[in-house]
Structure 1
Amino acid sequence: MKVLIIDDEKRSRHLLSNLIVEHCSDILEIQEAQDLASGVALIKVTNPDIVFLDIEMPNQSGLEILEYFPDNIDFKIIFVTAYNQYAIEAFKMSAIDYLLKPLDVLELKEAISKAQEAITASNLNGQLNQLRKSLKQLSVDKIALEIPKGILFTSHKDILYFEADGMYTNVQLTTGKQKTICKPLKHFVQQLANNSMFFKCHRSYLINLKYVDELVKGDGDYLLMSNQKRIPVSKSKRDHFLEVIKEIFL
């Protein structure tokens, strides 16, 4: 991990640096800055994991650091100061810890340990957010089907139709295979509501329009799918379906 020490007193910076080197082997790099402005410049260039920040400094207080990072702080702050009256303000800024000079080695090690735990948690959250983003992109073209032995990720174009089976749903795939999913048909109707290729032509069927070969009219209209499956079209859906067909194809 990388550490930055911001303190106007050179002696205090060196003392803290020596304590870290002696007692905290996980810290691999230590840098120093003598005021807030130069410290902020180093933060933006070196991206430290932990910033040890003095509060009482000439020109600017360490508490003003948030003004330089209004959107996001991706480092952990540990305040180190000779004055304890700022503790409440420091913790309002979500500081990891607040250490008083002269420094206690055990308190220093505990503060660094807290920072390490927070960094690990932040990294995990970042990975989870990236996974969420990737899966959302995947869901644009694929659907997750919960099968008995796991989850089947299937492309929308590989689904012929969904057929209700009580509280279950049978999913017919273009490969000829059928999967039974432990969710009702309305689950998939809602999930694919924004996908214009899927049409609920009957209370028991949600079809992929890509695989409709023929609309057969007669005593009970039905759709002939590419696998020769006959799927009924309910009276309430028939006019809507014909309207869309005429609008697009005729």
Structure 2
Amino acid sequence: MKVLIVDDENKARRLLRCIIEELFSEITTILEASDLETGVALIKEEQPQIVYLDIEMPEYSGLQIVEFLTEEEINFQIIFTTAYNKYAVDAFKITAIDYLLKPIDKTELKLATKKAITTLNKANINTQLNHLKNTFKQLALNKIALEIPKGFIFVSHEEIILFEADGMYTKVYLDNGHTEFICKPIKHFVEQLSNLTFFHKTHRSYFVNIKHIKELSKRDGHHLVMSNNMTIPISKDKRNEFMELIRETFNI
């Protein structure tokens, strides 16, 4: 039997390979890919029976596999390996697709792989994947995924007070008093939330939720006081645009 591991983390691929080799003598070939495009090419060329597919990868999510393969080409079983927290895992429970939470547990891997071997060619994986993608879209309608060391947390847009740049990282201040340190630049969040008019960049280092503005002061240069009492500067080059936004939003 032939399987494929698709994960951008080399360490994660090595660990999964070792466990599979230990548990399944019937799996004779283990292929690896560090991104979805390479994985798709291997699927077409090697025809694996099982694909262990990470969701969060650079460029393309594992869920986008249906965009690269026709329904006829998806004739293998998929087991997602994911660091998503329990809220996102609920989406998997709605479908028949299996998943493994990182760090991988041997017992769970064994059960998922045995199930995949048993059900090979018995399920419409394409339909299941599309169902799963739609479920994640519903989950994301009013929430944003924040990647933390233990996985992901999902917070509603209204819970976010502001984003603060810290080099190539971003601090996310939430209305519950917590601050999350995210391994992505602030530009990532500005682009992701560009369609939401209540988020605005007042300064190269700050991206604020105007719903959480408590005070706007013109003293000592324009600045904001947010609901968590942080003082946020409004840079000169953004001042006119921001003041116009405030006037339109609050009818002042």
**Which residue in 1 is equivalent to 2:170?**
169
- C-alpha distance in structure 1 between counterparts of 2:139 and 2:203, whole Å: 28
- C-alpha distance in structure 1 between counterparts of 2:220 and 2:247, whole Å: 21
Amino acid in structure 1 at the alignment position of 2:206: Y
Q: CA deviation at 1:233?
A: 0.6
| Larger CA Rg, structure 1 vs 2 | 1
Q: Deviations over 1:174-215 (max 9, x none)?
A: 010100000000000000000111111110011111100111
Amino acid in structure 2 at the alignment position of 1:163: E
**Which residue in 1 is equivalent to 2:150?**
149
Amino acid in structure 2 at the alignment position of 1:242: M
Structure with larger RCO (C-alpha < 8 A, sep 6+) = 2
The share of aligned pairs that are identical, in percent, is 53
- C-alpha distance in structure 1 between counterparts of 2:146 and 2:208, whole Å: 16
Aligned pairs for 1:1-250 (under 5 A) are: 117-120=120-123, 123-248=124-249, 249-250=251-252
- C-alpha distance in structure 2 between counterparts of 1:244 and 1:168, whole Å: 27
**Which residue in 2 is equivalent to 1:9?**
none
- Unaligned 5+ segments in structure 1 are 1-71, 74-115
Q: TM-score scaled to structure 1, two decimals?
A: 0.51
Q: CA deviation at 1:232?
A: 0.6
Q: CA deviation at 1:117?
A: 4.6
- C-alpha distance in structure 2 between counterparts of 1:160 and 1:131, whole Å: 30
Q: How many residues align?
A: 135
- C-alpha distance in structure 2 between counterparts of 1:132 and 1:119, whole Å: 21
Amino acid in structure 2 at the alignment position of 1:157: E
Q: CA deviation at 1:218?
A: 2.5
- C-alpha distance in structure 1 between counterparts of 2:213 and 2:161, whole Å: 9
Q: CA deviation at 1:219?
A: 2.6
- C-alpha distance in structure 1 between counterparts of 2:183 and 2:227, whole Å: 26
Q: CA deviation at 1:118?
A: 4.4
- C-alpha distance in structure 2 between counterparts of 1:203 and 1:126, whole Å: 43
Q: Which runs of 4+ in 1 moved over 4 A?
A: 116-119
Amino acid in structure 1 at the alignment position of 2:220: D
- Unaligned 5+ segments in structure 2 are 1-70, 73-118
- C-alpha distance in structure 1 between counterparts of 2:210 and 2:191, whole Å: 17
- C-alpha distance in structure 2 between counterparts of 1:125 and 1:182, whole Å: 32
